[in-house]
Amino acid sequence: MQPGKLIVFSAPSGSGKTTIVQHLLAQPELKLEFSISATSRAPRPEEIEGKDYYFLSLEEFKKKIKNEEFLEWEEVYRDNFYGTLKSEIQKIWAAGKNVIFDIDVVGGLDIKNIYPEQTLAVFVKPPSIEELKIRLKKRKTESDDKISMRVAKASIELATAPQFDFVIENNDLQTALKEAYDLVASFVGANNNRE
């Protein structure tokens, strides 16, 4: 099986990485497929099993860790695990696609360390912590406590930006989308003749 490329997008929650990843997935010439992460947290109302995440019980998740079924995993918050199943990557590569990740900074850097030559690691930076807080509140998906927790974590995550191959500052979404497209197209060797 010919391994494809791995494209990692990491950022603090609310930076716009999911929007960028969705945009890139819509470009067929990039031959991307989204890596669906596993998590031990409960699904949010709009989330679908096998589309947004693979939802595992805490016990199932820990069993898979023990069996070394994860490429990377992390306990993001207490008893709240996220990880990338090795089987997910194999499945995407077997289909002749490149894998794109929307993943936290620790997981993103772990993947880069495991596959240094095959991975493009991009950090999406919010304009400011203040703007991040506004974006998270606009989502209306989490309590003020959860938002405060995410904002505190964002400061730590921002310090890891220099360890990534590229940093995209998401001040203007259209500019960020174009920058992301150009980086990925160049990395995967896609025909880059778009406007």
- The enclosing domain of 141 has a CATH number of 3.40.50.300
Residue 16 lies in a domain: yes
Residue 67 lies in a domain: yes
Fill in the DSSP letter of residue 155.
Answer: H
140 occurs within a structural domain = yes
Furthest-apart CA atoms within the chain: distance in Å: 49
Range of the domain at 55: 6-188
**pLDDT tens for residues 18-52?**
999 999 999 999 999 999 999 999 998 999 999 99
**Residue 174 domain-assigned (yes or no):** yes
pLDDT at 122 over 90: yes
Rounded mean pLDDT, 91-95: 95
State the pLDDT confidence band at 193, using cuts at 50, 70 and 90.
Answer: very low
The span from the CA of 174 to the CA of 90, in Å, is 32
Whole-model pTM: value is 0.86
Please state the domain count of the chain.
1
- C-alpha distances (whole Å) from 135 to each of 16, 39, 141, 153, 169 are 9, 23, 11, 15, 15
Specify if 194 maps to a domain.
no
Residue in this structure with the two tokens 């995967």, named with its chain if needed = 188
- Around 16, how many Cα atoms within 13 Å sit in the side-chain half-sphere? 23
Angstrom distance (rounded) from CA 170 to CA 117 = 26
Pick the more confident residue, 12 or 5.
Answer: 5
Mean local confidence (pLDDT), 110-122: 95
Q: Where is pLDDT greater, at 84 or 127?
A: 84
Is 195 within the bounds of a domain? no
* Residue 154 in domain: yes
**What share of the chain in percent tops pLDDT 90?**
70
**Lookup: tokens for 83:** 């990880």
Question: Residue 193: inside a domain, yes or no?
Answer: no
pLDDT of residue 39: 96
